[in-house]
């Protein structure tokens, strides 16, 4: 039999198909179809009836609208709101009627409700009562025939059964409805985890249903149109077909408003989040902030043109790096304390796992800053401590490079069209090892210095070779697919770092080798091995320096072309830390070659990077203030990672017998 429970449960099945979770269904959320940045959804995983329409991609709306299985119904709703205003419809009442939580106590003729008889993604599986048709006639323009009860077969209806959690709840109260919704989510997650065969694969149905692949009005998006939208996400603000002519008058004004403030149709106030709720949304992608700050501290320490107070500025950046690193680490520890199972998921999730390397790069830059700014003002204890910590760091970097890539290779299947330079980040701890080893070796005795130099060259080589592999994948993506969305294009600067830091590391290691390598090293007595290493290191550094400059120029052109359509994202911090490596390499090469031009270029780039750091810091703080970060629906991938944690937790409670399993009921 059909009950309010099964109808609400059916809506949750749709949210699972669309990869929505409770976060997306919060009052102030935006549909993921209108969110900027990397897509978290795929057309291939969707039934044809649930694929977004052209209008859904163009207009900001609340995610619950995406749950209707009829494209034309979704467009009818959006059109009505756009033409008559958001107050024309009581969306809460419509949602209650659609799920039949308000009219459950009335008969099918009087109650305004929808009835589900088969698969939730099938338009033919939904039957509307006479009360619903009378109450919401505008909602059925052009699509009533697909939902008319006369087109439903009474025989063979596949009724969905599930537990009835309504005991002790008043369906007429909003509190009861909310509890029903939350409890339904919990039991549905358990049912999916159990894999008992009760859930059908939505991909098994005919994805090319003629009833939903219409044109213009109610048109579901195609791969070509989606590709065009990805190329220019932020300029798609109106209907894409001539059938939407009745909306043209408000198109220009809606575009201007969209550029100023992107909001759902229903202008709900942004609900404040508590500190713990915000901490639950901090990801590994926050650590490029400390990478950028720490790289500036290292860059300032090698400036060829100095002035009074420059060292103090460098120390300020170093202390800021240390403070931010500790703060972010505390936040992410809070997150994984409350959601411990999310830790393992975060280490292989496509949008978060690669940034785990930035955590270790931040540690390397802190060690580098401690060497440059701390050793001169500290005793010999710091020199010994840095030597020990260096070897621990190298061991951890190797573990990260091996297991991080292994987990990604084993668990995830990433598309070539999504390749980005951030895929290099698990190798970045080794890419910074050459510069770190050179600075630490300078403070050590000869024997320890030689060992550190050798380890630095080995680590730099591994990082560079892994980066070359990712370079090939990344350039293949650029050749065969679209450029990244405008707001994420600063992330393309990550490709500058491997060549830049390899260049810097080779020059620094060669300089230290000239001073540290003993006579007769490697059994060679005819020449000074240290001088040979120095000469070879400069030549090798020149070999890769122009590679870094080429990637920097390529990315700069790509960013400039879309700069007016960019909005702040955490990937903006890539403006700083990769290019800091380029500036550092330029200055070191200039010192080795006694080139005033290279020194001046590195110094000028330093000034630009400090300005960019200030810009990113301002935009970052503003995004936090405006709740564009650490807010529901605003943090890429965090909902998915935290949702997987909740599923694992429910699965554990299921095996321990703490949660009552769904029971089956007969008709």
Q: SS3 letters for 183-213?
A: HHHHHHHHHHHHCCCCCCCHHHCCCCCCCCC
Sign of the torsion formed by the C-alpha atoms of 579, 582, 588 and 590: negative
Superfamily of domain 278-633: Voltage-dependent anion channel (1.50.10.150)
**Bridge partners of residue 409, in order along the sequence:** none
Nearest to 562 by CA among 483, 623, 629, 617: 483
User: Nearest-5° angle of CA 612, CA 614, CA 616?
Assistant: 70
Question: Taking a C-beta distance cutoff of 8 angstroms, is the pair 489, 495 a contact?
Answer: no
- pLDDT for 662 equals 40
- pLDDT for 636 equals 66
Helix (H) / strand (E) containing 381 = helix 380-411
Q: Which stretches of 358-464 are assigned E, i.e. beta strand?
A: none
How far is Cα 660 from Cα 200, in angstroms, rounded to an integer?
A: 23
Residues in the chain: 667
How far is Cα 310 from Cα 289, in angstroms, rounded to an integer?
A: 22
Question: Taking a C-beta distance cutoff of 8 angstroms, is the pair 616, 573 a contact?
Answer: yes
Per-residue pLDDT tens digits for 568-588: 889 999 999 999 999 999 999
How far is Cα 43 from Cα 121, in angstroms, rounded to an integer?
A: 14
- pLDDT for 177 equals 40
The low-confidence residues of the chain, meaning pLDDT below 50, are: 1-2, 4-5, 37-38, 101-110, 142-218, 232-270, 653-667
Question: Taking a C-beta distance cutoff of 8 angstroms, is the pair 75, 244 a contact?
Answer: no
**DSSP 8-state symbol, 115:** E
Nearest to 266 by CA among 555, 64, 6: 64
Residue 339 makes CB contacts below 8 A (sequence gap 6+) with 280, 642, 645, 646
Nearest to 332 by CA among 275, 279, 290, 285: 279
Q: Where are the domains of the chain?
A: 4-266, 278-633
Question: Taking a C-beta distance cutoff of 8 angstroms, is the pair 131, 110 a contact?
Answer: yes
Helices (H), 201-309: 223-231, 251-260, 275-279, 288-300
The pTM of this model reads 0.62
How far is Cα 384 from Cα 444, in angstroms, rounded to an integer?
A: 8
3 state SS of 220 = strand
How far is Cα 292 from Cα 383, in angstroms, rounded to an integer?
A: 25
Between helix 288-300 and helix 310-338 the angle, nearest 10°, is: 160
3 state SS of 413 = coil
What's the start-to-end Cα distance of the chain, in Å? 5
- pLDDT for 243 equals 35
Q: Is 594 exposed, middle or buried (0-12, 13-18, 19+ CB in 10 A)?
A: exposed
Helices (H), 496-528: 496-516
* Per-residue tokens: 476: 């293949």
Per-residue pLDDT tens digits for 530-582: 899 999 999 999 999 999 999 999 999 999 999 988 888 899 999 999 999 99
């Amino acid at each position: 039999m059909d009950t309010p429970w099964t109808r609400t449960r059916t809506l949750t099945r749709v949210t699972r198909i669309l990869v929505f979770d409770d976060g997306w269904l919060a009052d102030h959320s935006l549909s993921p179809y209108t969110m900027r940045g990397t897509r978290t959804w795929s057309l291939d995983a969707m039934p044809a009836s649930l694929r977004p329409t052209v209008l859904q991609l163009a207009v900001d709306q609340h995610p619950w609208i995406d749950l209707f299985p009829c494209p034309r119904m979704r467009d009818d709703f959006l059109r009505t709101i756009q033409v008559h205003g958001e107050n024309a419809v009581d969306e809460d009442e419509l949602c209650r009627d659609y799920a039949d939580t308000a009219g459950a106590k009335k008969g099918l003729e009087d109650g305004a409700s929808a009835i589900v008889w088969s698969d939730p993604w099938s338009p033919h599986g939904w039957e509307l009562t006479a009360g619903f048709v009378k109450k919401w006639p505008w909602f059925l323009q052009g699509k009533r025939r697909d939902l008319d009860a006369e087109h439903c077969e009474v025989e063979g209806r596949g009724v969905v059964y599930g537990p009835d959690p309504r005991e002790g709840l008043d369906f007429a109260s909003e509190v009861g409805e909310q509890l029903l919704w939350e409890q339904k989510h919990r039991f549905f997650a358990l049912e999916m985890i159990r894999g008992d065969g009760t859930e059908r694969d939505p991909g098994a149905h005919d994805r090319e249903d003629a009833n939903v692949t219409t044109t213009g009005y109610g048109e579901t998006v195609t791969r070509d149109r989606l590709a065009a939208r990805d190329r220019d996400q932020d300029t798609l603000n109106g209907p894409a077909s001539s059938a939407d002519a009745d909306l043209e008058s408000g198109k220009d004004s809606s575009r201007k408003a969209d550029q100023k403030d992107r909001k759902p149709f229903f202008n709900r106030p942004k609900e404040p989040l508590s500190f713990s709720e915000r901490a639950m949304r901090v990801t590994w992608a926050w650590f490029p902030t400390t990478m950028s700050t720490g790289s500036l501290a290292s860059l300032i320490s090698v400036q060829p043109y100095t002035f009074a107070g420059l060292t103090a500025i460098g120390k300020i950046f170093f202390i800021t790096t240390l403070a931010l690193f500790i703060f972010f680490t505390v936040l992410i520890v809070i997150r994984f304390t409350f959601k411990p199972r999310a830790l393992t998921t975060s280490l292989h999730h496509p949008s978060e796992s690669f940034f785990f390397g930035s955590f270790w790069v931040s540690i390397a830059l802190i060690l580098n800053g401690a060497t440059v700014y701390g050793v001169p003002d500290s005793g010999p204890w710091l020199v010994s401590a840095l030597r020990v910590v260096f070897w621990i760091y190298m061991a951890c970097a190797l573990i990260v490079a091996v297991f991080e890539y292994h987990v990604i290779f084993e668990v995830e299947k990433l598309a070539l069209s999504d390749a980005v330079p951030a895929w290099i980040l698990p190798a970045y701890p080794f890419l910074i090892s050459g510069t770190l080893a050179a600075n630490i070796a300078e403070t050590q005795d000869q024997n320890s210095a030689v060992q550190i130099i050798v380890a630095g060259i080995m680590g730099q080589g591994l990082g560079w070779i892994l980066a070359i592999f990712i370079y090939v994948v990344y350039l293949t993506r650029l050749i065969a697919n679209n450029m990244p969305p405008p707001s994420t294009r600063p992330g393309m600067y990550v490709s500058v770092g491997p060549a830049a830091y390899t260049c810097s590391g080779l020059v620094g290691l060669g300089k230290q080798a000239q001073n540290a390598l003993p006579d007769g090293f490697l059994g060679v007595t005819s020449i000074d091995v240290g001088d040979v290493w120095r000469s070879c290191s400069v030549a090798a550094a020149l070999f890769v320096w122009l590679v870094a400059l080429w990637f920097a120029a390529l990315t700069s052109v790509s960013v400039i072309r879309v700069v007016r359509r960019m909005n702040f994202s955490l990937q903006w911090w890539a403006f700083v830390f990769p290019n800091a490596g380029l500036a550092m390499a330029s200055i070191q090469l200039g010192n080795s070659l006694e080139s005033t031009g290279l020194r001046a270029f590195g110094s000028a780039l330093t000034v630009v990077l400090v300005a960019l750091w200030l810009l990113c810091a301002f935009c970052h703080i503003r995004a936090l203030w405006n709740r564009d970060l650490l807010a529901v629906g605003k943090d890429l991938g965090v909902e998915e990672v935290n949702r997987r944690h909740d599923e694992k937790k429910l699965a554990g409670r299921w095996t321990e017998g703490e949660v009552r399993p769904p029971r089956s009921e007969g008709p």
